[in-house]
Amino acid sequence: MDLPRFTYHPDPIATGSVVAADTPCVCCGESRGYVYAGPVYAEEEYGHEICPWCIADGSAHERLGVIFSDEEGVGGGGEWDEVGEDIIDEIAQRTPGFNGWQQEQWWTHCGHQAVFAALRVPFYRMPLHRLGLIEPVWVVAHVAEGLLYFEDVEAGFEIGAPGDDGALPARGCNQFELTHILHRLAHAGLSRQR
């Protein structure tokens, strides 16, 4: 069964926010093979018992009064560019949140969300050299400088171009947060368009 599409969280299985489980959904009562495993902001406590479909169609938000990202965090609590209410609603009410990542704020700054939307690809695995080993990382977008990837050891984003052997080169521990990369790309993209 295909998961619903989430514009602002393209592959919630890759990020660990949706996991395979037969648990019946507390909202629709159906056992649909996947449940949400990310953060839930609500009066009551919910474990891994909300299905992604009830997130996508807004029924979990409506019936349970839950949101999945801190609304204050969308747009950096007002520190960043103003974001439309509709986008905040979609992210908070109808998009799976992120576990562990400090990424609740990554969508809005300087048109990041539009930049990411334009560049992202369906996440896929790619080998990376690390300490003499080859390990997989997640490629999330294709950018001018190469591939933008997330690697879960350092839990950070990097840009790299694959070498002759088809693997990404080793990098130091200087992982970027996605906001920094998107900030750079946003400005590079804008200057290219002019």
Q: Which residue lies nearer to Zn ion by CB, 27 or 92?
A: 27
Distance of alpha carbon 163 from the chain centroid:
27
Q: Which residue lies nearer to Zn ion by CB, 54 or 168?
A: 54
| Cα gap 89→164, rounded to integer Å | 45
The DSSP bridge partners found for residue 19 are 35
Q: Which residue lies nearer to Zn ion by CB, 62 or 145?
A: 62
Size of the site for Zn ion (CB under 5 A): 5
CA-based nearest residue to 55, from 78, 34, 84, 74? 34
- Nearest-approach distance from CB 11 to Zn ion, in angstroms: 20
Residue showing the smallest CB distance to Zn ion in the complex: 25
Among positions 3, 25, 181, 186, the unique one binding Zn ion when judged by CB under 5 A: 25
Query: Sign of the CA dihedral 59, 42, 84, 180?
Result: negative
Q: Which residue lies nearer to Zn ion by CB, 25 or 168?
A: 25
Give the strands of the sheet with 146-151, arranged side by side. Answer: 120-130, 133-143, 146-151, 156-160
Specify the stretch interacting with Zn ion by CB under 5 A; choose among 23-31, 112-120, 147-155, 162-170: 23-31
Interaction between residue 14 and Zn ion (CB under 5 A): no
| Cα gap 14→126, rounded to integer Å | 13
Using CB under 5 A as the binding rule, the residues of this chain from 103 to 132 that contact Zn ion are none
Q: Which residue lies nearer to Zn ion by CB, 23 or 175?
A: 23
Contact flags string 26-65 toward Zn ion, x per CB under 5 A? -xx----------------------x--x-----------
- Nearest-approach distance from CB 57 to Zn ion, in angstroms: 9
Q: 């938000």: which residue's tokens?
A: 61
Cβ-Cβ contacts under 8 Å for 79 (sequence gap 6 or more): none
Encoded tokens for 68: 């999945």
Encoded tokens for 77: 């609590």
Residues that bind Zn ion (CB under 5 A): 25, 27-28, 51, 54
